[in-house]
Structure 1
């Protein structure tokens, strides 16, 4: 089944386990009680840091939606991290839909290896002229902070209702779902001098038992 791959998904298990270990001391053990139903919003509320920098505009098509379930904790610092983490995801998809390999939003919310991986990932979509339709859900988030001040966000992705649209034919591939539609993802973020939590590393494991329905 052809399905949208995640950046750095290949051979990421070892690195992912290291990030998961770093997150072991998180005091945020809150999970969505209903993994799929009752999404809080398609986009998190603006983070407290948003007043510190002019944010690039990101708008996905009406037929494609990233839903971030329970993406607010009530803790201002964690919520700022989560808001910028969500925009990192949206910036990648925004570039895909606009058919560009790089954008202001992409480099605004990503840097380091995460930015390089995202550019490579987007390039494959743009070269194939593909996009996607449907809904991708981001859930079961956990946030923790490392001693160096960086943040780690771990979450599950459910792409079982997101389908590739062939840019040449307009045909949507709605093949039956598989475990590859679910992924356990871990990201590391660093706050820059503008108060933006930039994603600097992304690791993902397809078909992870923790994220299967």
Structure 2
């Protein structure tokens, strides 16, 4: 876990990571920890999750029944920032889908995660699989703030609500119950990088579990 003491520190760290990336550095602290899967009580819903977006050409996310991801994103009025947030949403859904399927080699994961972020999250998914766990419930992403756009790099800080998500034992499907706590709320700071095809991909990621700014 890579925890920072405040949202301001997290944002400053992400900004520094952007500069290092622009200069060819690789001194990042990506997050490979398991998140968004060991909280709360089961949801009553057993419906399969729909595709992430109605946008033409949007990737399809075939979540198992009972697994949903909500992206609470408001238009910014800036088409570049809106595209960054859209692709960030796809990256986050790809991460959760990889956990749900216990497979970091699914195409959508490889499409929207690169570099340190891909390596860190891949390790987390494989560790989760080795522990014999599955996931269910809902996670929500909200309070997105595109802090800086510098050429083909952008820094974004946002929150995740894991209070309605939990782990299951993959062999039985039985829920692993945990007590709800402040740790259900996580502040994320990511560096996104735009590729030659115009797609923004998650390059680096840090998080602050239990962040007061994300509690709701």
TM-score (norm 1): 0.75
Matches for 1:1-213 after TM superposition, within 5 Å: 10-13=1-4, 16-19=10-13, 43-44=52-53, 46=55, 57-213=60-216
Distance 1:166 1:126, change over 3 A: same
Aligned-partner Cα distance in 1 for 2:15–2:197: 29
Residue aligned with 1:177, SS: coil
- Per-residue deviation, 1:74: 3.7
Aligned-partner Cα distance in 2 for 1:147–1:84: 17
Deviates more, 1:82-91 or 1:138-147: 138-147
Structure 2 unpaired stretches of 5+:
17-49
Residue aligned with 1:102, SS: coil
Q: How many residues are aligned here?
A: 180
Distance 1:133 1:71, change over 3 A: farther
Q: Deviations over 1:133-175 (max 9, x none)?
A: 1111111111133334411111111101101111123211233
- Contact 1:141 1:154 (8 Å CA) reproduced: yes
- Contact 2:73 2:85 (8 Å CA) reproduced: no
Aligned-partner Cα distance in 1 for 2:170–2:77: 41
Distance 1:173 1:72, change over 3 A: farther
Q: Deviations over 1:18-45 (max 9, x none)?
A: 24667xxxxxxxxxxxxxxxxxx98455
Aligned-partner Cα distance in 1 for 2:104–2:52: 23
Q: Deviations over 1:164-205 (max 9, x none)?
A: 111123211233201111111011101001111011011000
- Contact 1:45 1:83 (8 Å CA) reproduced: no
Aligned-partner Cα distance in 2 for 1:87–1:167: 25
Deviates more, 1:64-73 or 1:115-124: 64-73
Aligned-partner Cα distance in 1 for 2:51–2:10: 26
- Contact 2:142 2:159 (8 Å CA) reproduced: yes
Structure 1 unpaired stretches of 5+:
1-9, 23-40
